[in-house]
Amino acid sequence: MNSRQRTSRYGFGLHFAVGATSVILLFAAILRGFPPVIEQSLGAALLVVLILHARMGFALGRLQNELDILRGLTKRALPVAGEEVIGAMKITPDARLSHDDMARLNRVSEAVESGRVDLYLQPIVSLPQRKPRFYEAFSRLRDADGRILKPADYLEAAERANNIGVIDNMILMRCIQALRDEKKRSPRLAVFCNLSPATIYDTNFFNQLTDYLELNSDLATNLIFEFTYPAIQTMHPKLTENLNAIAARGFEFSIDHVHSLDLDWEDLRGRNFSFAKAPASLLLAASRGDEASVARLRAFRKRLAEVGVDLIAEKIEFENHMPEILSLGIDYGQGNLFGAARRSDFYLGADGAGAAGAGADKAAAA
């Protein structure tokens, strides 16, 4: 039974109890000859109690559903013969896994399960104002000694152990939970969060993630999911249905790793892709080409504006590139020129005050 069915049955049972109890009390009051004012007082008191009970019941039901989904998202795999369980990851003995590999994976799993996943943010600024409007989220793991575990330190070992997907999934959930905490301090914070191909193609996890987001649709104004174009291009129809379900809850999407300006932007916008990221080098190369290249770039910008997709020029590193980028009429920019990825409190401050300009709606951002 899913969360909607549970809630529906609970609501039906509650309404039935309200009606039956009200009829019994009023009938008893009439038989006893109570004055009308007492009957009205009893009815009002009963109504208040039932409203409070309903609110508490629905809140507890929602919490229970969320806990059930979180257990499914983070549950540990049961050990089977010939396998060693390291945290939430199963490591099958293999000649390709050295002792160093095992140690690295152990540090990763222990960091995730101990909650040592730090939220890092990089600003995405409006142009030409250079005011932070959004942030892209990154996760950084810390070991027991406080040292940062860089992805380069464990990615090869995780690939050899076939655990990239498990690690990505665990980090994603920690990232979303960290965003929930930040939202309490910075209600207008809007963050781009990457969904890796490994997460997208983990059907069971992605189905449960969809359920989790359904229960947390209040995050829709704060969370923009980012996908690579190759992942979207090769996505199975069933996963497309999941994306549609997430979009129906109000979540917007962004696409990066754009390698060409000639994509089906109308189709992408119809699937709730509201942002597109293109490397500054791709845009600058087009603007410096022959007249045909410049014309294609202008047509590209016009087409995006017509379908309602905002363009983000990413990987902007040098100030001397800005005059050309601004001349292209780009909506937003991202890169080390505007700020490197740093711990969230660097940009938001201890009290979240630094996010005053972030997360404003797109109309205000324009």
Model confidence, pTM: 0.72
**Residues facing 139 on adjacent strands:** 119
The CATH code of the domain that includes 340 is 3.20.20.450
Please indicate, yes or no, if residue 95 is contained in any of the structural domains: no
Percent of the chain with pLDDT over 70: 69
Helices (H), 75-202: 99-113, 151-160, 164-185, 197-200
Please indicate, yes or no, if residue 102 is contained in any of the structural domains: no
Percent of the chain with pLDDT over 90: 21
Please indicate, yes or no, if residue 346 is contained in any of the structural domains: yes
Please indicate, yes or no, if residue 287 is contained in any of the structural domains: yes
Please indicate, yes or no, if residue 180 is contained in any of the structural domains: yes
Q: What is the pLDDT of residue 245?
A: 84
Whether residue 195 is found in the same domain as residue 322: yes
For 308-337, how does the pLDDT look when each residue is reduced to its tens digit (9 = 90+)?
Answer: 999 999 999 999 999 989 988 888 999 999
Whether residue 282 is found in the same domain as residue 212: yes
Please indicate, yes or no, if residue 241 is contained in any of the structural domains: yes
Residues 6+ apart with CB under 8 A from 83: 90, 91, 92, 93
For 22-44, how does the pLDDT look when each residue is reduced to its tens digit (9 = 90+)?
Answer: 667 666 666 666 666 665 666 67
Whether residue 180 is found in the same domain as residue 55: no
- Cβ atoms of 343 and 141 within 8 Å: the answer is no
| 245-263 residues labelled b (16+ CB within 10 A) or e (exposed) | ebbeeebbbbbbebeebeb
Whether residue 318 is found in the same domain as residue 194: yes
Number of independent structural domains in the chain? 2
Please indicate, yes or no, if residue 267 is contained in any of the structural domains: yes
Whether residue 28 is found in the same domain as residue 132: no
Whether residue 31 is found in the same domain as residue 174: no
Which residue in this structure is represented by tokens 């363009």?
311
Please indicate, yes or no, if residue 18 is contained in any of the structural domains: yes
Range of the domain at 347: 118-151+160-365
Whether residue 64 is found in the same domain as residue 141: no
The greatest distance separating any two alpha carbons of the chain, rounded to the nearest whole angstrom, comes to 95
The residue among 22, 51, 74 that closes a domain is: 74
Whether residue 269 is found in the same domain as residue 348: yes
Q: What is the pLDDT of residue 205?
A: 83
Whether residue 178 is found in the same domain as residue 313: yes
